[in-house]
Structure 1
Amino acid sequence: MKRILLSGFIALSLLLTTTSCDNDDDHDTVITAADLPAAATGFITAYFPNATYQSIKKQNKADSDGSIYDVYLTNGFDIDFDVNGNWVDIDGNYQAIPVELIPEKINAYVTTNYPNLFVTSIDNETTSTEVELSNNLELVFDLQGNFLRIDK
């Protein structure tokens, strides 16, 4: 009886182990710039004219924030776009996000309260906008740009 229970336990453990190791990389495809929506390529051309594409991935299923295209530029910026080519989040990887991409009210708050810092990442979530500053401090704003809290 112990041998049957032990064999069953081992079989169940192997089954759970192999099914739980699903690799998320199987859910995206490498694409070319020609496959991006026109709005996304226009955005990159307008705000990052000197950068070239390092890699572009299209996910089979949108993330919770709606992003489906992950664009990696040679200047270090990572930009996620939704299915229509609207940017969802921009990660400068410790570089300053172009000021014109930061909502005016959020930019005013940052420059007033953190004058020696700059925004290195901005995420448009469904109910808020999150920005990360050059000292790794994360600030959360509502959709109207009103400061809500420092994210821990």
Structure 2
Amino acid sequence: MKTKLKLAVYLIAGLLFSFSANAQKTVIKKEDLPANAQTFLKTHFGSKKPSYILKDKEILSTEYKVKFGNEIEIEFDKKGNWKEVDGKNAKIPKSIVPKKIASYIKTNFPKEKVTKIEIESSGYETKLTNGLELKFNLKEDFVKIDK
């Protein structure tokens, strides 16, 4: 019985290793991004040139990462929909923050700027210049402060 259990553990470990070994990160051009990602970059960053663009391809998923200078990093899913915009403690473009969320922040934290925004299946998470993290649902309604 122990032998079968050990064999199963080794088999699972081997499969996990082979999946991770097949992951590939490659540098690509802006034109090689999905159309949604290209539109997002043009809308919010104009003609600003990225430092690099990576395509992270794994067995079951593909993601893209765009980096501008030492600050802003954007993650897109395989369809080119943004998942996260991280300013690394510098403010991100106001145009990225949904209007209802931006209005809430302006009203309740008038001196603060958004340095990071992430969209997940449950809603949005934003980080402000003062370090507070605010959570919003998918309807962009405020849910809670996360520290």
Note if 1:60 corresponds to 2:57: yes
In 2, distance between residues paired with 1:108 and 1:125?
20
Amino acid corresponding to residue 131 of structure 1 in structure 2: T
In 1, distance between residues paired with 2:106 and 2:57?
39
In 1, distance between residues paired with 2:93 and 2:59?
26
Write out the 4+ residue segments of structure 1 that deviate beyond 4 Å after TM superposition: none
State the number of aligned residues: 132
Note if 1:84 corresponds to 2:79: yes
Q: Is the 8 A contact 1:51 1:75 kept in 2?
A: no
Q: Give unpaired runs (5+ residues) of structure 1.
A: 1-15
69-78 vs 126-135, which deviates more?
A: 69-78
2:10 aligns with none
1:41 aligns with 38
1:119 is aligned, of 111, 114, 117, to 114
In 1, distance between residues paired with 2:75 and 2:59?
11
In 2, distance between residues paired with 1:150 and 1:41?
32
1:142 aligns with 137
In 2, distance between residues paired with 1:50 and 1:33?
11
2:88 aligns with 93
For residues 108-128 of structure 1, the C-alpha deviation after alignment (integer angstroms, 9 at most, x for no partner) is 111111111011110001111
Q: Give unpaired runs (5+ residues) of structure 2.
A: 1-12
- Percentage of pairs with the same residue: 37
Note if 1:28 corresponds to 2:25: yes
- Alignment root-mean-square deviation, CA: 2.8
The structure having more radius of gyration, on CA atoms, is 1
28-37 vs 117-126, which deviates more?
A: 28-37
In 2, distance between residues paired with 1:146 and 1:58?
33
TM-score by length of 1: 0.74
For residues 29-61 of structure 1, the C-alpha deviation after alignment (integer angstroms, 9 at most, x for no partner) is 222222111221222122112421211111223
Amino acid corresponding to residue 102 of structure 1 in structure 2: V
